[in-house]
Every structure is written in structure tokens, then in C-alpha cells.
Structure 1
């Protein structure tokens, strides 16, 4: 086969290779991002940051220990966070779920107004104004929700809004973590 005929197959080969990459990319679920913390049952990274709701108080990982809980990363600039906020309020009120919050890269005044206007589902809210805690946790963006065990270790991570469908999975994970912590 001469070189001209061989060159004619290069575009076809490139097209097939590109198609393979695109097919692989479309088959990945973006809500199932790997989590170094959850995969290894690691504790939340060390931090000492102010509370959004009690600005004179500093919070640490010890403040997020004691029971199986959700840890929700949120911000007022995040439209999806507003979408999930009502559902988080229902979980906290109707199902008595303990939820901690990390207010991520946000303005404290706007965040406090948000909680006043839309109600506060959080037991405690860490103010991560510069995003350092989020960075240490591997946060891609808001919202993200983690399941914490009583020792404050991350056991599961969900990227995206929490709704009734996602809650089914989170509830199962929390029940499993609860059962393991009793054993």
C-alpha cells in the first residue's frame, strides 16, 4: 500500500479515537466523583473556622462529631443550593436528621440573610469564606453532601442537590453507618 492510501485512513482513525473518548466521557456519572475522604473513612481535615450563626465562636472538627449526620456544602451564589434548601429543611424538621453546613466561598451577611429568609436546617454552620476547608476536602463546587459517622469521618459523598431520590441513598448509607457504629 502506498503512502497516499495510508494517509487516507488517518482521518478515519482519528475520528474513531475521538468517538471512543467521547463515548467514555458520556458514560461517567458526574455525581459519583471519587472521594479520598469517603473511600478511606478519613476524618474531616483539621480546621478552625468561625461559625456563620455565632461569629464569635470558632468551630473545629470536634463540633461535627457525636452522631451520624449530613454535612452539606452550600452557598448563596449557588442556584442548585436554593433548589435543595427546602428539602434539607424538611429532613431536619420532619425526619429529625442532623445536618451541619459549610458555607462555601460566600459573603457572611448574604448567607445569614439566606438562613433567616429560607430557614436554617443546620445544627452548626462553618464559615469557609476563602474555601480552604472545601479545598482540603476536595470540594468541586456547591452543593455537595457528605455522610459523617459519629467520629466525624466521611463515609459517603454526594455531588449535586439532595432531593427525594438522593435521600433514599443517603438514608440507607446513614442507617448502615449507624448500625456499624453500634457494633
Structure 2
């Protein structure tokens, strides 16, 4: 009787072990399939609603104005993380040139892990849409911002709080339907607050 129980128990254990890899593979396939359906530009950022990390970067070679956390207070602005070696950065660059020409919102550049000569040459040849451009040669500032890769674009409110993060190249649709409406909303919110404070 006892040997029969042991035999049954051993058979059950072997069956469980036989199905375990299959179960793990099925679970992994479900997780991977779910991941493929997600929009990579919608990765959450733990910095949304928080003050921009404290930093002070020198300008990109040949530029006069670097970029610091203090530059991102007082008005709503965009911060674009880019690099000369980034193919996707070229996709959005002409759109940023148009945006800069319109003067709709200040656009600052955070040049990520680039060789100084390459960054300067890239901006000289394609145009420089940035009000200020900080050279983050080591990549430490971008890490503090939670950057996964380039390009990434942030909307920063007038108090220096990160309001939005877009991963990947910005296109006309993202700019028109998400970024610019948010910029206007943040400006209106700041104006309303200033009126309330002035009335007190």
C-alpha cells in the first residue's frame, strides 16, 4: 500500500515536471504577446509631476548657451533629447525647425552621449532649432531624467515640473494633438493661478 502511494506520488511529480516547461513557455508567450501590443511611446515615467532633476550642462561646441534646471522655470517649454548618431532624431528635426521658426514654445536640446564635433556639425548642417542646448557627453543627466533612448521629448511646465514625456520621434500628429494642446493648457493654468494670486 505504501509502495503504491509512493509510485503514484512519483508519477504525479513526473507529470507536473513534464508540464512545467510547457506552462512557463505559455505564460512567457502571453507576456510577450501583450508587450507587442503596447505603444512604446507610452511608457510611464516616474518623473511626471515632479521637478526636473537638478543639472547644469555646458553648451554644445560652437553654441553660447548651455542648459540647466534653472532655465526650465518661468515658462512652459520643451526639452528634446537628441544625438547626431540617432537616425530617428533626423525624422523629427525638420518639424522642430518649423516649430522654432513659429516661436510657439521654447525648445531646448539635451545632446546625449555625442562627440562634441559631431553634435556641432549635425546642428550646423541640419539647423539649430534649440533656444539652449546642453552637452550631456557622459549621459548622466539623461539618466536622471529617466531617458530610455533617443529621441525623447519632455513638456516642462512654468514651475519646472515634468508634465509629459514622449518616447520616439515627434511627428505632426503628436505635436498637434498632444504636445501643443498640453502646452496651451499649462500656460492657461499658470495664467489663472497668477490672476488668483494677484487678486489676493
Fold conserved (TM > 0.5)? Answer: yes
In structure 2, the partner of 1:174 is 183
Contact 2:55 2:68 in 1 (8 A): yes
Measure the CA separation in 1 of the matches of 2:15 and 2:133. 66
Aligned to 1:134, which of 142, 159, 164? 142
Please give the per-residue CA displacement for 1:4-51, whole angstroms capped at 9, x wherever unaligned.
Answer: 66566445433432332222222322111121211xx22211112201
Aligned to 1:20, which of 26, 30, 42? 30
Does residue 109 (structure 1) correspond to residue 117 (structure 2)? The answer is yes
Structure with a larger share of its residues in helix: 2
Q: TM-score, normalised by structure 2?
A: 0.81
In structure 1, the partner of 2:87 is 79
In structure 2, the partner of 1:33 is 43
Report runs of 4+ in structure 1 exceeding 6 Å deviation.
none
Contact 1:53 1:124 in 2 (8 A): no
* Count of paired positions: 181
Contact 1:53 1:125 in 2 (8 A): no
**Rg: which structure is higher?**
2
Aligned to 2:75, which of 67, 72, 85? 67
Gaps of 5+ in 1: none
Superposition RMSD in Å: 2.1
